[in-house]
Structure 1
Amino acid sequence: MEVIRGLHNLRPAHRGSAVTIGNFDGIHRGHQAVLGQLEAGARARGLPATLITFEPHPLEYFAPERADARITRLREKVDALRAQPVERVLCLKFDARLAAMAPEEFIQRVLVDGLGTEYLVVGDDFRFGNRRAGTFETLEAAGAEHGFAVERTRTYSLDGERVSSTRVRNALTAGELETAAELLGRPYRLCGRVVHGDQRGRTIGFPTANIPLYRRKRPLSGVFAVWLTVDGGPSRPAVANVGTRPTVDGTEPVLEVHVFDFAGDLYGRPVSVEFVEKIREEQRFGSLEELTAQIDADAAAARRRLGVE
């Protein structure tokens, strides 16, 4: 899968595409249905399936205080897309220039001149361009003018309710990891690179791998039973905390993972953390002794849940 960052990196070879557009936060089963529809249209026309997405999300640009917590960062989104029938991802930087672009200019520069779009699939509630003036009908009219087909996405439902990023996010916030996994079509994971921490966990007998979250908001928080994978290797049972470590007056959100029966060096290595079950909410303790006792109990609970007692 080819990742193209910005319009300036489009080349003549990228012209002639089947395209879909959106934030695609989570790459959940609803998104996967859209990508299946895109693949079918692309295959019928002999075109590469191309996904256009934005970084940051438009609402993060316009009103970061009102933006939802992301299910997936860009890197996690791209990783999830590698398992989908997508050949190209065009990531457009959402900035003042893109926000001010009129719908007609977006169509001309991105869809027509940039990608040579021949087939487009989007939701009929899709809005784009300056002041969100562009609509599905705008795209239909442009398709008739420029010679590309425009098709509506089909709604994907589970248990009688539409699968959406909001539904996934609500399940994660509530700690309903099985529900989230069912909506995503895979277990929920956070990815990152292990960095040096303050070594406090080591002093109380629970050394941790510290992974910065680089998120304004988190879709979940608390203590969890997890599996940790290093560099795509075997999964290792672990207990993890997602939060700000209130007992030690932490401020920056971090993912801390204590891997059971492991003594290797993880610094600087990319890891993936798969969330299995929520054990409890994050809380402040009166002393490190109380915190240590609770971590010991959390570890025992995680071992039971993961079947590694």
Structure 2
Amino acid sequence: MQLVRGLHNLRPQHRGCVATIGNFDGVHRGHQAILARLRERARELGVPSCVVLFEPQPREYFAPDTAPARLARLRDKIELLQAEGIDRVLCLAFNQRLSQLSAAEFVRTLLVDGLGVQHLEVGDDFRFGCDRLGDFAFLSEAGARLGFSVEAAHTVEIDAVRVSSTQVRLALATADFPLAARLLGRPFSIAGRVLHGQKLARQLGWPTANVQLKRRRVPLAGVYLVSTEVGGVRYGGAANIGVRPTVAGDGRPHLEIHLLGFQGDLYGQRLAVQFHQKLRDEQRFASLEALKAAVDADVAAAQALWQAHSKSLK
């Protein structure tokens, strides 16, 4: 799969494709249905499939403090889109210039002059342009004039729930990981590189891997039973994700994992952490002794639950 960053990097060989546009946060089963139709149209027309993404996502640009927590970072999305068999991703920097394009300018600049789109797949709620005129009807009329076809995605429902990134976040907020997995089509996970931390957990007797999050907000907070694969072996663990209120921190979310039975050095490795069950909310403790007692209990609970979980998989 080819990644193109910015309109300025589009070349003549990139013209002629079928495309879809959106955030694709989480690449859930609703997105997967759009991508399946995109691949089908690409085969029919004999051209590449292209997904157009924005970075940051528009709501993150306009209202960074209230934008929804990300389900997937850009790197995760690109990997998921590659797994879906997409030929090309065009990542556009969502900035002042792009945000001020009218719907008509967006169509002409990106779809016609930039990509030479032959067919466009869009979500049923897709809107664009600084004038907010860009919707399915606008695209259909523009396509009829400018030579590309447009198809609207149909709503995908699972268990009578409309599949959306918002629904995935709601499932995660209530720790309904089975529902989140059904909406996503895979278990929910967070991936990141292991960095050096304060080494406080090691002093408490439970060394942790500090997984880099690189995001302002996360869709989870608390202590969880998790698992991750290291060297071909899946380990259970107890993880805290949050702002670490008991110790002096930077106010940003952190993910710390104690892997059950693991011995070794994880620094620099990239881990994909799956979440299975919530153990408790994150809380502030009056002392490090109280924090240690809570962590002891968390690890004991994770050990018992992971043992039961592992048996159910055999």
User: Hey, what does 1:242 align to over in structure 2?
Assistant: 241
Once residues 268 and 245 of structure 2 are traced to their aligned partners in structure 1, the CA distance between those partners, rounded to angstroms, is 25
Structure 2 CA distance for partners of 1:155 and 1:40, relative to 1, 3 Å: same
Once residues 160 and 133 of structure 1 are traced to their aligned partners in structure 2, the CA distance between those partners, rounded to angstroms, is 31
Report Cα offsets for 1:45-72 as digits up to 9, x if no partner: 1121111110111111111222111111
Aligned length: 308
Matched residue of 2:186: which SS? coil
The answer to whether the 8 A contact 1:177-1:278 is kept is no
Report Cα offsets for 1:11-40 as digits up to 9, x if no partner: 211111111111111111111111111111
Give TM-score scaled by structure 1 length: 0.95
Once residues 234 and 47 of structure 1 are traced to their aligned partners in structure 2, the CA distance between those partners, rounded to angstroms, is 41
The answer to whether the 8 A contact 1:106-1:129 is kept is yes
User: Hey, what does 2:80 align to over in structure 1?
Assistant: 80
- What pairs with 1:16-35 in structure 2 (closer than 5 Å)? 16-35=16-35
User: Hey, what does 1:103 align to over in structure 2?
Assistant: 103
User: Hey, what does 1:53 align to over in structure 2?
Assistant: 53
Amino acid corresponding to residue 94 of structure 1 in structure 2: F
Amino acid corresponding to residue 287 of structure 2 in structure 1: S
- What pairs with 1:181-260 in structure 2 (closer than 5 Å)? 181-230=181-230, 233-250=232-249, 251-260=251-260
Unaligned runs of 5+ in 1: none
Deviation at 1:233, TM superposition (A): 4.0
Once residues 102 and 233 of structure 2 are traced to their aligned partners in structure 1, the CA distance between those partners, rounded to angstroms, is 49
Once residues 274 and 46 of structure 2 are traced to their aligned partners in structure 1, the CA distance between those partners, rounded to angstroms, is 37
2:140 maps to 1:148: no
User: Hey, what does 2:123 align to over in structure 1?
Assistant: 123
- What pairs with 1:2-17 in structure 2 (closer than 5 Å)? 2-17=2-17
Once residues 253 and 160 of structure 1 are traced to their aligned partners in structure 2, the CA distance between those partners, rounded to angstroms, is 33
Matched residue of 2:131: which SS? helix
Once residues 62 and 277 of structure 2 are traced to their aligned partners in structure 1, the CA distance between those partners, rounded to angstroms, is 35
- The RMSD of aligned alpha carbons is 1.6
The structure 1 segments of at least 4 consecutive aligned residues displaced by more than 4 Å after TM superposition are none
2:106 maps to 1:93: no
The answer to whether the 8 A contact 1:25-1:71 is kept is yes
The answer to whether the 8 A contact 1:212-1:253 is kept is no
Deviation at 1:305, TM superposition (A): 2.2
Identity over the aligned pairs, expressed in percent? 53
Once residues 237 and 208 of structure 1 are traced to their aligned partners in structure 2, the CA distance between those partners, rounded to angstroms, is 13
User: Hey, what does 1:278 align to over in structure 2?
Assistant: 278
Matched residue of 1:237: which SS? strand
Report Cα offsets for 1:182-218 as digits up to 9, x if no partner: 1111111111111110111111111111123222222
